[in-house]
Chain A
């Protein structure tokens, strides 16, 4: 297995964009290729496209060759699309990495794109309600907000987590996204503003929830030994972990303890040969405020049930125990499903390079992780990155 490096990447502005799926693809493709001077589309031999629901959101299947065509890529080795709902982009990175690591590919693009704004919001919500098992959970109206609302309700009951503590996650991530020019939301929010935002699914208000967002992004992966040919500042894939338990509500390991996340964390630490305390930056999947609280616990940065206290005490801020979501998170940046993991990873690259605004720059960061959950938090995917080749 070869070591693999990411040598560049680019992204669109995220938000409610006056642009089509195809437009977003082209914007991100151009930004990606412009980030690396000496790789042209014709040099790319493999393309993996993370896209959660193009069949629904833009009524288009077989999107991988379409992206290749728009980007001027003629894949000669590997071409595929990955779907793992909210982790679709991370699946694209994992497979692009695996292809380069095994020698199946030499220069691979991991791309992610989602166009979520449709003329009819209820139709977009329909797409989001066939993610959990449609015939047994979706049929009861169980899209993400009601599912995570019940998760929050049980966490509050079992561990005493409060709505204020949950709101603090939103306050933190919106604070960092004010310094991210690609973010969907670039305004500060307060605890009071979270409480006053419309109730989506109690106890979750609108600002407890990440949004529907349009966006696209891409990364270029090469063998580590070639990385310096393309940039002085590559970053390296250090390790990865993924685990999944059950799918319908009855078969989840637990509503309030994400066992598959704990497994994925251990596997990531093992494969990257690091400890949780080595992690300087954690781009975690804050699809809802309660998610990030439970993720602090699963990573072991605080005791089980104490995630709310952890954010209250400043643990996940820059300068705290670990900088969680200095990009602005899904709460601040939006959540264009297939693009999300690519955007997280691109921001880690820019953090390592010192290319992010000072107020959200994590100085001297060496190790970072990007995490995505998907579905009923039954699936957790993590990749660890290092600034140096280790």
Chain B
């Protein structure tokens, strides 16, 4: 008895799937902190503060982990930060960032917080700890937004 061989069809490429996308879903259909992204669209980097106990959090939350209050307010962190630490991704970038390599990554002191962020418009060799950096909003092709920082001229 002969065995039948057949080539079957499959699509070569699949659309970049959401579960391999580092950028969060920011629409109110998917998250209760969509205001954070709405604020970014208006040029403001914000986070939540508990109106009941006064605690400021990063990242923004919907429930205060200190007192479980849901009575939170959005606080503007400003646009000026200072580099606490930095490095550069040269090898080992994940899907979606490979084409950006090399790129700088930093920890930025802003509004009393330490947050990680991409540091644009500078090479690693041009950066120093305590450099001033300024907020920048990047827009993805699908309209989502995210924050980065860039080095300002002294």
Contact = CB atoms under 8 A, between A and B. Distances in A.
Interface of A: 120-123, 125-126, 128-130, 133-143, 145-146, 149-151, 153-154, 157, 198-204, 206, 248-251, 255
9 contacts: A130-B22, A135-B24, A139-B24, A140-B116, A141-B103, A142-B105, A145-B89, A145-B91, A157-B129
B23 to A, nearest CB: 6
Interface size class of B (residues with CB under 8 A): 35 or more
Given A122-B93, A199-B90, A206-B91, A248 B22 contact: no
Given A248-B58, A250-B58, A251-B58, A139 B90 contact: no
B20 A150 contact: no
A153 B89 CA distance: 14
B35 to A, nearest CB: 15
Identify the 5 closest CB pairs spanning chains A and B, nearest first. Answer: A150-B85, A149-B87, A126-B94, A135-B24, A129-B94
Contacts of A129: 22, 94
Interface of B: 20, 22-24, 58-59, 84-98, 100, 103, 105-107, 113-118, 124, 129, 146, 148
A129 B101 CA distance: 15
Which of A122, A129, A141 has the most chain B CB atoms inside 10 A of its CB?
A: A141
Given A126-B20, A202-B124, A250-B58, A136 B98 contact: no
Contact of A141 (B105, B114, B129): B105
Nearest to B85: A150
A137 B97 CA distance: 14
B59 A136 contact: yes
A136 B115 contact: yes
A140 B93 CA distance: 11
B39 to A, nearest CB: 15
Nearest to B148: A140
Contacts of B100: 141
Nearest to B92: A125
Given A125-B92, A130-B22, A150-B87, 4 more contacts: A154-B84, A157-B129, A200-B92, A255-B107
